Amino acid sequence: MAIARFPSIVLDCPDPAALARFYGEMLDWKIETSDGWADVRAEYGQCLSFQQVADFRAPEWPGQDRPQQMHLDVIVDDLDTAETAVLALGATKHQHQPGTTFRVFLDPAGHPFCLCVS
């Protein structure tokens, strides 16, 4: 029997509400905000959370001076269509693209994430 369930990933950022809007739109999940904190939550319970951090410094990937430490991979049906959509939401396509079955982007706070085809 599991000790716990529904782990939540929490990303540090300068503006939790703005980052929650980005991921909420991308995933079509419900957005909940409070002072210095925001969540996006799927109907089935999965959650991403965003925590306001003073003096936030975005990771610099692929360098290691400020390592990414973690990143999100999300599955999409079509890379070109998904790329257009996340760019419209405020993502930036990273110049370093090391593969062909995924694409690397930075969210509006600078966290790397990948759009992946299965």
What pLDDT, on a 0 to 100 scale, did the predictor assign at position 45? 87
- Domain 7-54, architecture per CATH: 2-Layer Sandwich (3.30)
Architecture of the structural domain at 61-118: Roll (3.10)
| Ramachandran category for residue 101: left, alpha or beta (phi over 0 → left; psi -120 to 50 → alpha) | alpha
| Tokens read off for 23 | 């991921």
DSSP string over 74-94: EE-S-HHHHHHHHHHHT-EE-
State the pTM of this model.
0.83
Tokens of 99: 């593969």
Per-residue model confidence (pLDDT) at position 69: 82
**Per-residue confidence in pLDDT tens, the chain, 118 aa:** 766 576 679 999 999 999 999 999 999 999 999 999 999 999 998 999 999 999 999 999 898 998 888 888 899 999 999 999 999 999 999 999 999 999 999 999 999 999 999 7
Could you tell me where in the chain the CATH 3.10.180.10 domains are found? 61-118
Residue ranges, comma separated, of all CATH 3.30.720.120 domains in the chain are: 7-54
